[in-house]
Chain A
Amino acid sequence: MANIVIDNIKKSFGAFQALKGVSLTINDGEFVSLLGPSGCGKTTLLRIIAGLETSTSGDVRIGEKSVIGLLPKDRGLAMVFQNYAVFPHMTVYENVAFGLRMQKADDARVKKQVEKAAGLLHIEPYLDRYPNKLSGGQRQRVAVARALAVEPGVLLMDEPLSNLDALLRLEMRTELKTVLQEAGTTTIYVTHDQTEAMGLSDRIAVVHDGRIEQVGTPVEVYNNPATRFVGGFIGNPPMNFITMPVTGGQVTAGAQQFAVPAQGGDIVLGLRGETVERAPTGHGLDMHVRVAEPMGSHLLLTGSILGQPARVILPATETVKNGETVGLTLDPRRLTWLSPESGVSYPAAA
């Protein structure tokens, strides 16, 4: 077990700056996701921590010790790869045992550790088989078992579920959470899937364009996005951004008025689609509904508010027709206000 300190890591590939100074501290036993769209630098950061890539500048400390310049094997970590990287020419048993064999562990210890890891991941029935005969989900279990068998201080996971189909992904997500909680390993998890990050993480670091935009618990990041990017990236549907005029430090939405952290000009309202309540038109913001989709668990409305595109969610018990205009009242405690110029949110009012 170990904590990790990432200190101002920069990485350039030629003229391209993949990481523009990233700092992050991960506590012992914590599960942190690096969440961001493809090409944002999250995988590069993970590979730098692993030692598979060298940083241009900056420091990585694992358990208080700088690991820059150390070989991957001397960093006390294990890794799970996106395409599993389970060795096809070795049985599942030998795959799980690989790290221990490299450490020259004796057979008794290898057996004990392999059985323990195989038990955690429920792969005992396949230990004698070759990976070729296994499904994607089973191979991924083998990859996780191989990583856990060496009892690493730090576990790195690079999009481990992205090659699985949706149903299996959900199943593995739940199982990973259980297994990793049991193992208590410090984990860094790279993903572009915000539901995975939300569901699994103690904290999420949202990475965008080579920088960390925000670090926080899933609920913090969801409710109080630091930037427009974070609000738009996290949540399904994404946060709505509605530019509204400010007069005398106030924004007016129908009969509702809100004090905002700006005196005049425009401000952007960050509105989570499920935080509104239906009301007669004119009570709050009016939404022109282009398409109403009953999803079973809820009703998804797509249309426009103040002429700007918006998606909101109403309870499944509501009925709305396409082309109808509905009134929506806002919950003042759940609004985010952002600067229209910088896209950065104003600190939540205390």
Chain B
Amino acid sequence: MTQSKPWIPYALILPSVVFLGLLFVVPLVQTLWLAVSDNGTPSLANMTTMVTDLHFGRSVLNTFLLTLAVVPVQIVMALTMGSMVAKMNGGRETILWIWTIPLGISDLAAGMVWLSILQNTGYLNSILFGLGIIERQTAWLTYQTPVALFIGIAIAEIWRGTAIVMIIIVAGLNQVPKEFKEAAEIFGASPWTRFTRITLPLIRPALQSALILRTVLAFEVFAVVYALGGRNFPVLVGEAYNWQNQNQNYGVAAAYAVLIMVISLAATLVYLKAVKVDPERLP
């Protein structure tokens, strides 16, 4: 009986708590201190350096634009994919398996995949040239083609990151009993009404999780951007990386890290409020 030894659950939890404490809380506190200190004394110097840096404004703008472009598309795509797969009788697992392949690829590798498509000598140019649409190699990923670069990065990110959203949403859809949809159908709801008035409200918890997870990940976008655009498309994590490795200025890098964390927390709070999950209104 575990009741006779009440310390057992705590003992079992302890290793993970110690692990998280050492590898998460300690670095977090250190980073926070690093960001708001200068040579061991409290200071806003790192913040000032970050904010006045040439790339700061663009990296904030780019990160937000990319998040705004990618997350809604991913949610809509995941909902569509999830709804389609729910209608399938056979082969469902196979399709889901294929759709989740990008999840198994590291984000840097994903960036390289899309680089091989979009670079000057890449597959896209080869195809366009073969079809006679372009006459010579066209550059898509330079600072002179910011729109094409943005679209390229967005597509790569969508390709890479939709699967995780879809998995969460499929799990949510699976929990909606089919009787709800059938009842709605009997009482005259069209397929679109069934989706908006029955399915969507019932998968709110999954939707909320997917939105939070995907948005936080979008604010942390780096490897794909780095592979495709380098510094032609500055983003927040990329700047942190540059200050850390290129400039060897850990303080400013820490300031960026803290900023990303604050943005992620803020986004999470916004979602928790906006996509409220009322346990009273769940099945």
**A residues apposed to B, CB below 8 Å:** 50-52, 71-73, 77-79, 81-83, 85, 87-89, 98-99, 102-103, 130, 132-133, 146, 150
Contact = CB atoms under 8 A, between A and B. Distances in A.
Contact of A83 (B177, B184, B186, B201): B177
A81 B179 CA distance: 7
Contacts of B179: 81-83, 85
A135 B185 CA distance: 25
Interface stretch (B34-42, B106-114, B144-152, B187-195): B187-195
Nearest to A83: B179
B interface bracket (residues with beta carbon within 8 Å of A): 20 to 34
B183 interface: yes
Contact of B280 (A79, A83, A85, A132): A132
B186 A77 contact: yes
A130 B177 contact: no
B182 A102 contact: no
Contact of B177 (A71, A77, A85, A103): A85
Question: Which 7 pairs from chain A and chain B are nearest by CB?
Answer: A102-B188, A73-B188, A85-B179, A99-B187, A85-B183, A89-B201, A89-B281
Contacts of A102: 184, 187-189, 193
B202 A88 contact: yes
Contacts of B279: 132
Contacts of B183: 79, 81, 85, 87
Contacts of A133: 280
A82 B188 CA distance: 19
Contacts of A71: 185
Interface of B: 177, 179-180, 182-189, 193, 198, 201-202, 204, 279-283
Contacts, number: 64
21 contacts: A52-B182, A52-B185, A72-B185, A73-B187, A73-B188, A79-B186, A81-B182, A81-B183, A85-B177, A85-B179, A85-B182, A85-B183, A88-B202, A99-B187, A99-B188, A102-B187, A102-B188, A103-B188, A132-B279, A132-B280, A146-B187
Nearest to B202: A89
B182 A78 contact: no
Contact of B186 (A78, A89, A103): A78
A96 to B, nearest CB: 11
A102 B99 CA distance: 36
A222 B177 CA distance: 37
B280 A50 contact: no
B177 A98 contact: no
Contacts of A81: 179, 182-183
Contact of A73 (B185, B198, B201): B185
A89 B200 CA distance: 10
Contacts of A78: 186-187
